[in-house]
Structure 1
């Protein structure tokens, strides 16, 4: 949508909002469109497109007919927009409800629902219903959606279009093309699932997103409809967890402590002393079985795909003995990584941009649709927040001052058709403080979209997993208020459900929370899978946060002399050491948005990502990205340690490869080739 079309839509919206009896098409053509060249058919098509565009922004254009005439006569048909039917109802929130709502909105780490949650919060702020709230000290749960497939499927569900993709069936191990009517997305047993109608099989099916082997294609020319009363959480509740099975693997002696911790005895054979931190090493081999220098472990698992992803990352340090489907899963992932690494490399070229402190945001460029949506939030926000500094307004809407001033200049030129100066939007910011005195019925935000309702309501439902929130009444009451405000759009939130965010080790979480509250220093014993070591550290705890149900402690580590993030499930012991913290978090410090903070002296690595793996650019905070013709992308990422990058490439099996530095790319290829050679032998 061009800038001129943005202005035209805004003027059309103002005209239709400010008419009581409606305006005829001829009046709109003359006064809003100033159209004198196109014929009636061409103008009619343009007008219908604009009505559809306004509908997407939340405004329903009503058709009013003059009595005694039929709707087939355009001269007797008038159009208007009801002032109340498209507006967000008043939502009065208590301080406790505001706290819960902000926590729910901040759940979404990235992606479409993250943007939708931000827009929903802005609408509440624009209505003056969401002043600042005090958040719980040091606790922030977050959800990280499952990559680009998640984004595409969510868009298809909301647009009600079928999708196609290649899928690796868990029951047969075969990769097949699937054509599916998507009904809902949800998380169960730590995995994301799509629920929908498989058109090929003519039946409802569950598809695990980690088994998709191709990008998702949205077939936007066909409509679909979910069954009446569909609720994805109820559907997923019927899934049964896979039974526990045993895998036999040969592991390099003294390596992979994390895998050894999970090992169980397979036979009453004498075993040597375990490596530090290991609980049970099953069988020592001296010239027999797995071969010299290796230990044979029996590891419990439920799903071959999940364990296969982990074992593939270990490369030549592990060899799967049984079961065959686990060996196949590892070999398939390694082979895909090898093929991608051997493919011709694209030319590496990034647009010259100023590198900022934060990561580059992946996603489509801002469009005129984004601008109009922002302006429709901006006017009511200014009405309820008079006199804010222009830089504060820009920061609230996530734009630069230049972009905000472009919005304001369009707004002050918009108003009633052929109106007088006092019938235009009146906004002043000459002294850098923004005031609005004429809003032309744009003083209330538009009702929630499906995505916005889904982001907030699903977030609130997900917070039920935190006992300290679920026990209070604020969570239940704010959910009821948001459901009422969302209306029919809120009912569509049943097509989506988030993962459980409750921690597995509540005792460790409670100890860390108490230390944060009292300012006590902690001593912890921590297992690092990248270094394959166990160490003791004294840390100053700052805050706790989660990605899905994996919880992290952000703390200043005195051994590393820097800020570090420790996974709670890798902390073996945690207790106060009797000393107070020496580096307390400041009151202005926000919740962490990164699992690590790159430094200027870190190694700059250029990777190529397929369309399926494009989400890794966000996960690892790429500084620059460049789109590729096939839908993939180049990403420039800083890594403090590069020793584990071959593991990273092998784990993601054909969705990422290293292009530069060349030495790292070669190390990754050698790692994968050595791992594959074991299975070929």
Structure 2
């Protein structure tokens, strides 16, 4: 959408909003399009495309037909946009409801629905329904989506396009290409699942996103109709939880304290049975499908320098991801399906690491971002939010307005210049939008009936309603049914778009250990220092530290405590599930450090001695550039991405590469890349020496 088309669509919208009886196509062609050269057919196609664009932004163009009185008086077709049917209804929220709603919107900050959540909040602010609220002290929950596949699937679900992807079948362990009509996407048992119609099998299927072995291809030339009243949470609730199984793993002496904490020595006669089978229906959503005899397999002698442990688990793929990151320090003895899953990750990572290296070149003009889709459409959508925002926030400084919309001053001024050139067709100067910012304070004097925000889009309704659902059970929320009441108000305001939000269901963000979280919250509020006993996986040791707690935040149900660590003399992030003990030490916090401004908290705090690493990401791993706050990115011809990322320690990067199994590799510095390849080769050699066929 070019700038001229943006202005034309804006003028078309204003014309259709400000006509009571409607405008004929000939009037629109002459007064709005100023079209005198194209054919009637060409103009008709352009007009239909523009109506589709307005519909995309939430404005339905009504067609009004007047029947003629005879052959001398033919029927007349006119077009208009109803002023009420397209507008967001008034939403009145209490301060407590505003608090909950802002938390729900912030959940998606780094996810695919982050921009939609921000747009929805702006609409509520523009309508006067959302007031400033005080958030719970130091608590900032977030949802972490399942990489690029999540974004592609959300887009396909809302546009009702089929998708295609390679998938590791749970029942057979074979990789297959699936073509699916995506009905919904949700989280269950700590995993994201796609629910949809598998065309090859002509039936509903559940697909776990962690089993996707390729990027998602959206078949945007095709469409489908999902089942009526589809609710993904209800569908996922019917899935049985996988049973607890036990893996037999050889672990290097004295290593992997975190794994040892939940394991026990393997005795060979623990009575757990010989089968690693699934439960009825498990294969439909990714049970590992193995039936290897664990007792018989574990009869092989324990490796020298290793201890044989029995590790409980439910999901083979989740455990395989963890075990791959341990490299040669852990080797799966049984079951064979888990052995194969770890080996597959290591082999994919090693193959990618050994592939020819592309030229490492970044754009010279500052940090490069991954290309965004529909940027001109984003501009028009932003301008439609800007007018009602200015109506309700007269006199704000232009820099503050730009900051509210996350754009530069120049981008904002470009928007304003288009707006002040837009208005009623063939109108007088008073029929144009009148916005002034001569003294750097922005005022709007004529809004041409754009003062009320348009109704929620599907993405916006999904972002808020799914976020509210995820907050259920979060400690510190206002009591008295606040979560339920704000959900009902938003459902009423969203209308049909709110019903479509049932296609998405996020994880609940409440922590497993609410006691540790509450101790940290109380210390943050009181300004009290804490004594921390912490299991550090990088050091593979338990350390004692005194910390100044700053704030709490989460990725799904995994919670982190950001604090100033007096031992490290800097800000650090501690996972709550790795905290062995936490208690006040009787001292107040120092003034040495304060948390970084803004939301969200970063998992990584930059320092002068950081390792600056260049990685290559596949389409599957593209989301890691955002997750790890890449400073520079560049697109490669094959669709991969170069990313320059700061890491506090380079020692764990081989683990990082192995964990993502072929989605990322280290390119620079060369020494680190070579060390990572050697680490992967050594880990893979452990599995090559003990292939799965010997385990059965």
TM-score, structure 1 as length reference: 0.94
The residue aligned with 2:365 is 353
Once the two structures are superposed, the pairs formed by residues 209-228 of structure 1 within 5 Å of their partners are: 209-228=209-228
363 and 262 in structure 1: CA distance in 2 versus 1, 3 angstrom threshold: farther
- Which of 533-542 and 257-266 deviates more? 257-266
**Shift of residue 111 of structure 1?**
2.8
The residue aligned with 1:61 is 61
State yes or no: 1:292 paired with 2:304.
Answer: yes
SS in 1 for 2:531: strand
State yes or no: 1:395 paired with 2:407.
Answer: no
State yes or no: 1:476 paired with 2:488.
Answer: no
**Shift of residue 361 of structure 1?**
5.5
State yes or no: 1:130 paired with 2:130.
Answer: yes
The residue aligned with 2:116 is 116
The residue aligned with 1:164 is 164
**Shift of residue 593 of structure 1?**
2.6
8 Å CA contact 2:136–2:476 kept in 1: the answer is no
Once the two structures are superposed, the pairs formed by residues 153-552 of structure 1 within 5 Å of their partners are: 153-267=153-267, 289-354=301-366, 362-364=370-372, 367-469=375-477, 471-552=479-560
Name the CA distance, whole Å, in 1 between partners of 2:571 and 2:596: 17
Name the CA distance, whole Å, in 1 between partners of 2:239 and 2:591: 47
C-alpha RMSD of matched pairs (Å): 1.9
SS in 2 for 1:197: strand
SS in 2 for 1:636: strand
8 Å CA contact 1:69–1:76 kept in 2: the answer is no
SS in 2 for 1:650: helix
**Shift of residue 107 of structure 1?**
0.8
**Shift of residue 480 of structure 1?**
0.9
**Shift of residue 113 of structure 1?**
0.7
SS in 1 for 2:382: helix
Name the CA distance, whole Å, in 1 between partners of 2:74 and 2:578: 70
Name the CA distance, whole Å, in 2 between partners of 1:540 and 1:321: 43
549 and 363 in structure 1: CA distance in 2 versus 1, 3 angstrom threshold: farther
188 and 323 in structure 1: CA distance in 2 versus 1, 3 angstrom threshold: same
What's the CA shift string for 1:646-679, capped at 9, x where partnerless? 1111111100001111111111110111111122
**Shift of residue 365 of structure 1?**
6.0
SS in 1 for 2:113: helix
**Shift of residue 435 of structure 1?**
0.3
8 Å CA contact 1:26–1:75 kept in 2: the answer is no
Name the CA distance, whole Å, in 1 between partners of 2:632 and 2:570: 25
**Shift of residue 290 of structure 1?**
2.6
SS in 2 for 1:112: coil
SS in 1 for 2:612: strand
8 Å CA contact 2:370–2:634 kept in 1: the answer is no
Unpaired runs of at least 5, structure 1 = 270-287
**Shift of residue 131 of structure 1?**
2.2
8 Å CA contact 2:156–2:218 kept in 1: the answer is yes
Name the CA distance, whole Å, in 1 between partners of 2:109 and 2:130: 21
Say how many residue pairs are matched: 658
Unpaired runs of at least 5, structure 2 = 270-299, 690-696
SS in 1 for 2:265: coil
202 and 366 in structure 1: CA distance in 2 versus 1, 3 angstrom threshold: closer
Name the CA distance, whole Å, in 1 between partners of 2:249 and 2:266: 11
**Shift of residue 315 of structure 1?**
1.0
The residue aligned with 2:279 is none
8 Å CA contact 1:120–1:453 kept in 2: the answer is yes
74 and 674 in structure 1: CA distance in 2 versus 1, 3 angstrom threshold: farther
8 Å CA contact 2:139–2:552 kept in 1: the answer is yes
**Shift of residue 468 of structure 1?**
3.7
Name the CA distance, whole Å, in 1 between partners of 2:70 and 2:183: 39
**Shift of residue 590 of structure 1?**
3.7
571 and 588 in structure 1: CA distance in 2 versus 1, 3 angstrom threshold: closer
The residue aligned with 2:291 is none
SS in 2 for 1:153: helix
**Shift of residue 122 of structure 1?**
0.8
The residue aligned with 1:568 is 576
8 Å CA contact 2:266–2:308 kept in 1: the answer is no
**Shift of residue 338 of structure 1?**
1.3
8 Å CA contact 2:370–2:635 kept in 1: the answer is no
325 and 470 in structure 1: CA distance in 2 versus 1, 3 angstrom threshold: farther
588 and 302 in structure 1: CA distance in 2 versus 1, 3 angstrom threshold: closer
The residue aligned with 1:673 is 681
**Shift of residue 112 of structure 1?**
2.2
Once the two structures are superposed, the pairs formed by residues 98-117 of structure 1 within 5 Å of their partners are: 98-117=98-117
